[in-house]
Structure 1
Amino acid sequence: MVGVVDTDNIVHRMAMDDKVPWYQKKHLRYLYFMLFPCLMGIEMTSGFDSQIINAVQLVPAWTNYFGHPTGGYKGILASALPLGACIGLPFIPLINDNLGRRWCVMVGSVIMIIGSILQGFAQNAAMYIVARLIVGFGLPYAIVAGSSLIGELAYPKERAVLTSLFNAAYFIGSITAAGVTTPSLLQMSPSLLQVALIFFLPESPRFLISKDRHEEALAILIKYHGEGDENSEFARAEYAEIKTTIAIEMEHSKKSWLDLVSTAANRRRLLIGSLVGIFSQLSGNVVISYYLGDILALVGFTDPQFAAKYNIGNQVWGLVCAVFTALIIRRFRRRTMYLVAIFWCLTAYVAWTICAGVAVTTGSDVAAKFCLFWIYFYQPGYNIGFNALTYTFLVELFPYAMRARGITVFQFFGKAAQFFGTNVNPVGLDPDTGIGWKFLIVYCCWIAVEAALIWWLWPETSGRTLEELAFLFEDDERAHKATEAVEKVIHHEDMEISEKGGTATTKEAV
């Protein structure tokens, strides 16, 4: 793999050698508990949205109110949110990189509250669509900033678990929506929590260092990663690594969108980030998330009550799979997990397509019931790769100087793919005007293409600090320069501590 340098990173080694669990650390415990209402709830809004659209299609009152939508009309009702997200995405880095992660979350949350209120009081389809556009406009502001802030605040040892749980929260929203079916006003609940509590979280130390607010950044690292110990060797080593790496990054950064294409390494990051966005929405999940009623009806399950119960069960199962994957993510390599996930999804779709074809063409009740099984079987595979791993991988893939823009690009391609899928799926799945069950064959072929691209392009990012990963694809010279500079700064700061009566006297003491 080009440019991946294996170094003995001091900060990573110190974090892994720390045997004290997070729940026994007062300040870190507070930080992690505050992450949930402040940031983890952001993806609940995405989950609520996908299932409120899925669930209401099973409710006769909703379909009557909107004139029994089908085809393209049904598609735009569902796809207005990702369309709004695509419109708002270009402006996210301006707020995220200039005002900070917390203010970006605040802006996105306020916009989503406004959109949710309008959606709840929508008098017609046009008002409903506009409201969903507004919710979609605000959502990626909170997602981009929230996922970055989690990765940048977390202690290195728990970073992967926390960034994985971020996306797993999607299912809490989807379960709520699948259960309540219609109250759109509930969609603003996570945003209300974010507005009320976001400033009880500290700002990203990396953002503060990038703005030359070094004392504030060091104070945050000492409080949360050093448990308030002014002489914490780990906090000072981490501060030195972040400061040095960001300085090197900024030296080679244009601080604009051009950074994404300025080098071969960045172009590879851009390509992978774009593909993660596309794959996260076009791996067959949108069919299940937005049009479950249609795919169940194809194989003979037309009872709305059965469909609603099956849908709730599928969302609960998804939450179990996502949380379990997040909790074990440190045990496996990222690339391995992605490959397992995509081949799992491919197996599920091929088997489901075969059973659907048999059920439709022969009327086999057994084949129809197997379709129910394969839809549930699909969940663990999708959640391994495109739920739990998504933001863990993206935060690791993009260095600080381009992280906001990189995750914004991911969001753009993800929302664009979601917009495409939510409009195309109901047309393709329609047994009268489309191709019915045969539309699933399209996904079988596409998921196979995804598997080939993941095998060819995806790097391994596990077992490194974010600062090590800043030079993942760079040439050996720049990566070693960063390592040497970090060690020099750590050594220098240790000598200062020694002169002031601290406990560390040499680099080896770190």
Structure 2
Amino acid sequence: MAIIGQKEELGDPRVSNIAQNDTMKWYQKPNLRFLYLILVPCGLGVEWTSGFDSSMMNSLQAVASWVSYFNNPTSDRLGLLNAMYSLGGLMAVPFVPTVSQYLGRRWTIATASLIMFLGAGLQAGALNQDMFLASRWVLGFGIPFAIVNASSLIGELSYEKERSTMTSLFNASWFIGAIVAAGTTYGTFQMSSTWAWRLPSLLQLVPSMCQVCFLPFCPESPRWLVSKDRSDEAFAILSKYHSEGENGEEYVRLEFAQIQSTLALEKETAKAFVWADVIRDAPMRRRFLLALIIGFFTQWSGNGLLSFYMKAILNLVGITDNQTVQKIILSKSCWDLLTGVPIALVAPRFKRRKMFLTCTIGTACVYVVWTIASARYAIDKSASAGIAVLVFIFFYSPFYNIGWNALAYTYLVEIFPYSQRAKGIAFEQLAVRTAVFFNTYVNPIALDKIGWKYYIVYCVWILVEITTVYLLFPETKGRTLEELTFMFEGHEAQEKQKRNVDKQLELEPIEPTGHRAANV
């Protein structure tokens, strides 16, 4: 377990040093520029589905035809309609690591996209509540496969200098889907026919369609290829996309040697791909504990109320008009994007611990003021108190985005070695889906029964988050994935890794010509 102020062991810094000294911008490198552009639909686009789903279900509660078609769902039934998405995800998580290891990043994303495509079609064509519930389950079953592999693929393909920024943009892409869903629902909510909710449901298949269409042009993870003894293809990909900068050839030689030696060492310590690795040894237990914590904290920081039950929150301060609710949801989605993307671009430049602490302390302060204003409105129906609640709902987003949105997947990709990365992020998804299932089912019931007093639970819980981050979260900024691989294992493992890299470099280097045809 971490101790306050403990410094984790970091590995051979040669690759990260070359990357940090490279003065060429990514957009000046044609191949790298193409890579980042293709990762938008293939990787970042996965979160469009998540954002679309949350925002659409949030908005549909203010769509009269949806409410009437499903017989004016009670708070517990409404919770089930939302929670079914997470239930599907929970049932998928145990299979994610095995499927990912067998199919690779690209094909697993493609398979997940086809599953979600089917789910969106079923949702749009739902004839009754049971069919709608089934469609929500199918959508939820597909999303963990896509999230785990898309976040990993982005981190494993990106050039080290931009890696943390690219993985930070992954969660920020959530807001694009949220805006499209909120805007579409605002445009259709006054329709008297069922197309008021069927059309937004149908549009949820668009992100999955993007992944299926663009993935053939996206390269596979070099680390997965090396793990499958396809090193020539991996080297070709690294040479094409990572050798355009200053000292590019030396960077690729070192990076490839680090990947090969690190994966070889990982195989020595983890022969079988089994869930028992969660408790295999102290360093691995610590990694999985951090994944569990991140999964719960990203969903139990009060954001679940805003993502799914804005109508109920606004009703507590006297905002009941459906059109006004739709406008506020759309406005907040736009605000989230306007703040989330710049924060995702800036946050990786700072130390991870400082950003997580700023995030948790900021959200705690916002929730305390929000709770006080809600209590004041409940006492005297003060319009100023209602406005204060609305203002602090908007203040909440930037603080949340600093840590749990911008850095969650950046941090997860960094703390797990390749062999356990899919499993680690899947474990985080297990926590996420459990937390969301609880939130989406319990939140509407709690808001209905005890109103603003429910916010006090989050005020107390976020204090727990602050303490946990301070005590347990290590610093990871400024190193490559291979340099971070044995950060918890100690100096001996780091030295062994460096010796293996040096031995690998002494071998005759692989030439980037004459390879088997590879999708690069």
Q: Normalising by the residue count of structure 2, what TM-score does the alignment of the two structures yield?
A: 0.92
Residue 270 (str. 1) matches residue 288 (str. 2): yes
Is the counterpart of residue 36 in structure 1 residue 40 in structure 2? Answer: yes
Contact 2:31 2:240 in 1 (8 A): yes
Q: Hey, what does 2:396 align to over in structure 1? A: 378
Following superposition, the deviation at residue 173 of structure 1 comes to 0.6
Give the AA of the match of 1:194. Q
Give the Å deviation of 1:229. 11
Distance verdict in 2 for CA 1:143–1:497, change over 3 Å: closer
Write out aligned runs for 1:57-456 (5 A). 57-181=61-185, 182=197, 183-227=200-244, 232-253=249-270, 254-430=272-448, 434-456=449-471
Contact 2:10 2:483 in 1 (8 A): no
Residue among 22, 44, 58 paired with 2:26: 22
Match of 1:55 among 53, 59, 63: 59
The letter for the 1-side match of 2:457 is: V
| Alignment check: 8 A CA contact 1:3 1:474 kept | no
Distance 1:368 1:20, change over 3 A: same
Tell me, which stretches of 5 or more residues in structure 2 are unaligned?
A: 186-196, 512-520
Runs of 4+ that moved beyond 3 A? 227-231
CA distance in 1, matches of 2:119, 2:173: 21
SS at match of 2:127: coil
Aligned residues: percent identity?
Answer: 47
- Cα RMSD (Å) of the superposition? 1.7
- 8 Å CA contact 1:70–1:426 kept in 2: the answer is no
CA shift in 2, pair 1:341/1:228, >3 Å: closer
- After TM superposition, give the deviation of residue 231 of structure 1 in Å: 8.2
Residues 461-476 of structure 1 correspond to what in structure 2 (within 5 A)? 461-476=476-491
What is the number of residues matched between the two proteins? Answer: 493
**C-alpha contact 1:4 1:471 (8 A) present in aligned 2:** no
Distance 1:467 1:328, change over 3 A: same
The answer for the alignment partner of 1:508 in structure 2 is none
User: Are the equivalent residues in 2 in contact too, given 1:108–1:139 (CA < 8 A)?
Assistant: yes
CA–CA separation in structure 2 for the residues paired with 1:486 and 1:447: 43
Tell me the alpha carbon deviations over residues 11-37 of structure 1, each in whole angstroms, 9 at most, x when there is no partner.
000011111111011110110000011
Query: TM (normalized to structure 1)?
Result: 0.94
Q: Tell me if the contact between 1:105 and 1:142 (Cα under 8 Å) persists in the aligned partners.
A: yes
In structure 1, the partner of 2:497 is 482
Which amino acid in 2 is paired with 1:428?
A
**2:299–2:432: 8 Å Cα contact kept in structure 1?**
yes
Cα displacement (A) at 1:488? 3.6
Instruction: Specify the SS of the correspondent of 2:161.
Output: coil
Q: Is the 8 A contact 2:11 2:484 kept in 1?
A: no
**Structure 1 residue 156 displacement after superposition:** 0.4
- Mapped contact 1:222–1:235 kept (Cα < 8 A): yes
